[in-house]
Structure 1
Amino acid sequence: MAYKKNIAALLQQVHEMTSVLDNIGSYVYCKNLAGKYTYVNADVAALFQTSVQDIIGKDDSYFFDLNVLDELLKNDRKVIFGKVSLAFEESNLIKSTGKVHTYKTIKNPIFNEMGEIIGLSGISTDITMQKLLEEDNQDQKHLFDVILNNIDAYIYMKDAKRRYRYVNRRVAELIGLPAEEIIGKLDTDVVSPSYADHFWQTDKLAFEGNEKVVINETLESPDKKTQHYLSTKVPFQLRGDMRTMIAFSTNVTELYQLKEKFEQLANTDVLTSIYNRRYFFDNANREFNRAKRHQQALAVISLDVDHFKTVNDQYGHPVGDQVLIKIAQLITPTIRAEDIFARIGGEEFSILLPNISLSQSLQAAERLRDLLDKKPILINKNIMLSIKISLGVSVLKASDNCFQDLYARSDSALYQAKSQGRNHVYLID
Structure 2
Amino acid sequence: MAVNKPSFATKSDNSVDNQVINVEQQLRQDELILDSIFTALSDLFFLMDYEGTILDYRANEDSDLYVQPEMFLGKKMHEVLSEPAAILFDENRLVLLAADKELVTFDYELEFDKGKKQFQARILKLPKISKIIAIIQDITERTQIEIALKISESIYRQMFEKNQAIKLIIDPTDGAIIEANKAAVEFYGYKYQDLISKNIFDLNLLTKQEILKKMELAKQEKCVFFDFQHQTATGEIKHVEVYSGPINIADKTFLFSIVQDVTKKKCIENKLKQTEQRFRDLFNNINAEIFIKDLQGKYILVNDNLLNFYGINASDIIDKTDQELFSQDKAKLYRQSDLDTIKMMHSIILEDTVEVNKCQRYYSTTKFPLINPNGQVYAVCGISTDITDTKIAEEKILHQAHFDTLTNLPNRFLSLDRLEQMLKEAQRNDEKVAVLFLDLDDFKKINDTLGHEVGDKLLIESAKRLKSIIRDEDTVGRLGGDEFIVILRGITNSSDVQPVTEALLNKFRQPFSIDNRELILTSSVGIAVYPDDAESVSEILRNADTAMYQAKDLGRNGFSYFTQSMNQNVSRRLAVEEQIRGALERDEFDVHYQIQLDMKSEKIIGAEALLRWHNCVLGNITPDEFIPVAEQTGLIVCLGQFVLNQALATIKQWQNRSHGNLRIAVNLSPRQFRDPELVGFVEKALINADVAASNLELEITEGVLLSGHSYIDKALTSLNKLGVILSMDDFGTGYSSLSYLRTYPFDVLKVDRCFVSGIIENNADKELVNATIAMSHALGLKVVAEGVETKEQYHMLAQLGCDYAQGYLLSKPVPKNELFALADNFSF
TM-score (norm 2): 0.44
Question: Is the 1:68–1:93 contact (alpha carbons within 8 Å) kept by the matching residues of 2?
Answer: no
Question: Is the 2:289–2:305 contact (alpha carbons within 8 Å) kept by the matching residues of 1?
Answer: yes
Q: Give the one of 373, 378, 393 matched to 1:258.
A: 393
Unaligned runs of 5+ in 2: 14-161, 564-828
Alpha-carbon distance in structure 2 between the residues aligned to 1:398 and 1:162? 65
Of 145-154 and 167-176, deviating more is 167-176
Of 56-65 and 46-55, deviating more is 56-65
Show the 5 A alignment for 1:139-158: 139-158=274-293
Partner of 1:78: 217
Partner of 2:247: 110
Alpha-carbon distance in structure 2 between the residues aligned to 1:152 and 1:24? 47
Q: 1:299 Cα deviation (Å)?
A: 3.3
Question: Is the 2:170–2:200 contact (alpha carbons within 8 Å) kept by the matching residues of 1?
Answer: no
Alpha-carbon distance in structure 2 between the residues aligned to 1:323 and 1:17? 101
Paired letter, 2:197: G
Paired letter, 1:406: I
Alpha-carbon distance in structure 2 between the residues aligned to 1:313 and 1:53? 113
Q: 1:356 Cα deviation (Å)?
A: 4.7
Alpha-carbon distance in structure 2 between the residues aligned to 1:298 and 1:327? 23
Question: Is the 1:175–1:191 contact (alpha carbons within 8 Å) kept by the matching residues of 2?
Answer: no
Show the 5 A alignment for 1:15-414: 25-32=164-171, 33-65=173-205, 71-80=210-219, 83-111=220-248, 118-223=253-358, 225-238=359-372, 243-281=378-416, 283-285=418-420, 288=423, 297-312=432-447, 315=450, 318-357=453-492, 358=494, 360-373=496-509, 375-381=510-516, 383-397=517-531, 402-414=536-548
**CA shift digits 1:347-389 (9 cap, x unpaired):** 211123445544554443332122222x2111233x2123221
Q: 1:301 Cα deviation (Å)?
A: 1.7
The number of residues matched between the two structures is 409
Question: Is the 1:84–1:109 contact (alpha carbons within 8 Å) kept by the matching residues of 2?
Answer: yes
Q: 1:167 Cα deviation (Å)?
A: 1.5
Q: Specify the SS of the correspondent of 2:465.
A: helix
Alpha-carbon distance in structure 1 between the residues aligned to 2:166 and 2:261? 8
Q: 1:160 Cα deviation (Å)?
A: 3.5
Q: Specify the SS of the correspondent of 2:224.
A: strand
Alpha-carbon distance in structure 2 between the residues aligned to 1:118 and 1:16? 14
Q: 1:228 Cα deviation (Å)?
A: 1.1
Question: Is the 1:86–1:106 contact (alpha carbons within 8 Å) kept by the matching residues of 2?
Answer: no
Alpha-carbon distance in structure 2 between the residues aligned to 1:296 and 1:87? 99
Q: Specify the SS of the correspondent of 1:54.
A: helix
**CA shift digits 1:138-185 (9 cap, x unpaired):** 322221221121111111122342222322222223344322442322
Of 163-172 and 238-247, deviating more is 238-247
The Cα RMSD (Å) is 3.6
Question: Is the 2:512–2:519 contact (alpha carbons within 8 Å) kept by the matching residues of 1?
Answer: yes
Q: 1:190 Cα deviation (Å)?
A: 3.4
Change in CA separation of 1:238 and 1:277 when aligned onto 2, cut-off 3 Å = same
Paired letter, 1:59: N
Q: 1:321 Cα deviation (Å)?
A: 3.6
Paired letter, 1:51: K
Q: Specify the SS of the correspondent of 1:107.
A: strand
Q: 1:404 Cα deviation (Å)?
A: 0.6
Q: 1:257 Cα deviation (Å)?
A: 1.0
Partner of 1:5: none
Q: Specify the SS of the correspondent of 1:177.
A: coil
Change in CA separation of 1:208 and 1:110 when aligned onto 2, cut-off 3 Å = closer
Partner of 2:764: none
TM-score (norm 1): 0.81
Q: 1:108 Cα deviation (Å)?
A: 1.9
Of 152-161 and 349-358, deviating more is 349-358
Q: 1:59 Cα deviation (Å)?
A: 0.1
Question: Is the 1:85–1:109 contact (alpha carbons within 8 Å) kept by the matching residues of 2?
Answer: no
Q: 1:49 Cα deviation (Å)?
A: 0.9
Change in CA separation of 1:283 and 1:43 when aligned onto 2, cut-off 3 Å = farther
Identical pairs, percent: 26
Paired letter, 2:325: V
Alpha-carbon distance in structure 2 between the residues aligned to 1:86 and 1:364? 101
Alpha-carbon distance in structure 1 between the residues aligned to 2:434 and 2:389? 38
Question: Is the 1:30–1:38 contact (alpha carbons within 8 Å) kept by the matching residues of 2?
Answer: yes
Alpha-carbon distance in structure 2 between the residues aligned to 1:91 and 1:362? 103
Change in CA separation of 1:113 and 1:60 when aligned onto 2, cut-off 3 Å = closer
Higher helix share: 1
Q: 1:98 Cα deviation (Å)?
A: 3.7
Alpha-carbon distance in structure 2 between the residues aligned to 1:24 and 1:123? 12
Change in CA separation of 1:366 and 1:159 when aligned onto 2, cut-off 3 Å = farther
Partner of 1:7: none
Partner of 2:55: none
Change in CA separation of 1:49 and 1:326 when aligned onto 2, cut-off 3 Å = same
Change in CA separation of 1:295 and 1:106 when aligned onto 2, cut-off 3 Å = farther
Alpha-carbon distance in structure 1 between the residues aligned to 2:414 and 2:310? 42
Alpha-carbon distance in structure 2 between the residues aligned to 1:68 and 1:293? 101
Alpha-carbon distance in structure 2 between the residues aligned to 1:340 and 1:351? 6
Paired letter, 1:92: Q
Alpha-carbon distance in structure 2 between the residues aligned to 1:321 and 1:87? 91
Unaligned runs of 5+ in 1: 1-9
Of 171-180 and 324-333, deviating more is 171-180
Q: 1:102 Cα deviation (Å)?
A: 2.4
Q: Specify the SS of the correspondent of 1:129.
A: helix
Change in CA separation of 1:71 and 1:423 when aligned onto 2, cut-off 3 Å = same
Alpha-carbon distance in structure 1 between the residues aligned to 2:225 and 2:364? 50
Q: 1:296 Cα deviation (Å)?
A: 6.4
Question: Is the 2:369–2:377 contact (alpha carbons within 8 Å) kept by the matching residues of 1?
Answer: no
Q: 1:37 Cα deviation (Å)?
A: 0.7
Change in CA separation of 1:265 and 1:313 when aligned onto 2, cut-off 3 Å = closer
Of 359-368 and 154-163, deviating more is 359-368
Change in CA separation of 1:16 and 1:333 when aligned onto 2, cut-off 3 Å = same
Alpha-carbon distance in structure 2 between the residues aligned to 1:412 and 1:143? 74
Of 45-54 and 29-38, deviating more is 45-54
Alpha-carbon distance in structure 2 between the residues aligned to 1:353 and 1:153? 50
Q: Specify the SS of the correspondent of 1:86.
A: coil
Change in CA separation of 1:104 and 1:15 when aligned onto 2, cut-off 3 Å = closer
Q: 1:111 Cα deviation (Å)?
A: 3.8
Change in CA separation of 1:363 and 1:27 when aligned onto 2, cut-off 3 Å = farther
